[in-house]
Structure 1
């Protein structure tokens, strides 16, 4: 009888130790993940503050970070009850606000990219300034596993350039 009790006690301790180790691993993974996304979350938060203050934008429902040649952040928002994109140059802080109905939407550009290049997946799609014009840049992984970038004119949706097989 005493032997069974010792065995049960030992098993209970091993279970507690195992649960403790699992708990430590779960908490550690959550902390690492939180640290990994913190710069992205801070960038978004800072961009929303700039867009609210300098562009009078609110109701943010999209955020994209474009780092092709210069770094830009784009927010989808509303201003005076109209849907807009707020494009912020990260280095200079210059803010451009464009009405969504004056150009091509992100979803329309993504549809064009999927139809034309049939990528494995799209990595990023965001607005940036190029020669004083807004362009959509779409980064994707092609079927052959190589990277590609397509740039589209914001106003017309016309393909401006494509880089493939990187």
Structure 2
């Protein structure tokens, strides 16, 4: 094989690898993108959310998708959607603590190295935040926090 053939073969292999990686990333993110898009449509239809800025995927005993955002009347609300049945529950933000204050409370209580996610769903039929975090010893913790009061409902730590 001469030098130009080797260069052409190398370039072809690099392009093939890049195309394969891009295809893999697109295919692996498709279910998430589809769930988010469908949830935004449901939130608009059922609760009038026109400017969604939050999407969460809560999995406990049941799986829920949650969308948060402003309505046309500039009211902030969340819609919690049961992923299996499609039933929705609308929750107005009202005087409930903001997501940031829930995260700050978990950070103060457990001093994690990183907050992994905060997702809204139903726990015992009540709106509940699930905050997942990474501890300093490398383990994972979950803190379920009541949506309205901001009080801890359940803690699973050092998994």
TM over 0.5: yes
- Give yes or no for the alignment of 1:112 onto 2:94: no
- Give yes or no for the alignment of 1:40 onto 2:1: no
2:120 corresponding residue in structure 1:
127
What is the CA–CA distance in structure 1 between the aligned matches of 2:142 and 2:31, rounded to whole Å?
A: 24
> Within 5 A, what are the aligned runs for 1:76-155?
76-79=68-71, 80-155=73-148
What's the Cα RMSD here? 1.7
More helix by share: 1
Structure 1 residue 105 displacement after superposition: 1.6
Gaps of 5+ in 1: 1-6
Q: Which range moves more in the overlay, 96-105 or 83-92?
A: 96-105
2:5 corresponding residue in structure 1:
13
Structure 1 residue 163 displacement after superposition: 1.2
What is the CA–CA distance in structure 2 between the aligned matches of 1:90 and 1:155, rounded to whole Å?
A: 23
| Contact 1:140–1:149 under 8 Å retained in 2 | yes
- Give yes or no for the alignment of 1:30 onto 2:22: yes
Q: Matched residue pairs, number? A: 158
What is the CA–CA distance in structure 2 between the aligned matches of 1:131 and 1:95, rounded to whole Å?
A: 15
Structure 1 residue 132 displacement after superposition: 3.1
TM-score by length of 2: 0.90
2:44 corresponding residue in structure 1:
52
Q: 1:162 aligns with which of 151, 155, 158?
A: 155
What is the CA–CA distance in structure 2 between the aligned matches of 1:98 and 1:74, rounded to whole Å?
A: 10
| Contact 2:133–2:142 under 8 Å retained in 1 | yes
| 1:102 to 1:91, Cα distance in 2 relative to 1, 3 A | farther
| Contact 1:55–1:95 under 8 Å retained in 2 | no
- Greater C-alpha radius of gyration: 1
| Contact 2:130–2:142 under 8 Å retained in 1 | yes
1:3 corresponding residue in structure 2:
none
TM-score by length of 1: 0.87
| Contact 1:66–1:126 under 8 Å retained in 2 | yes
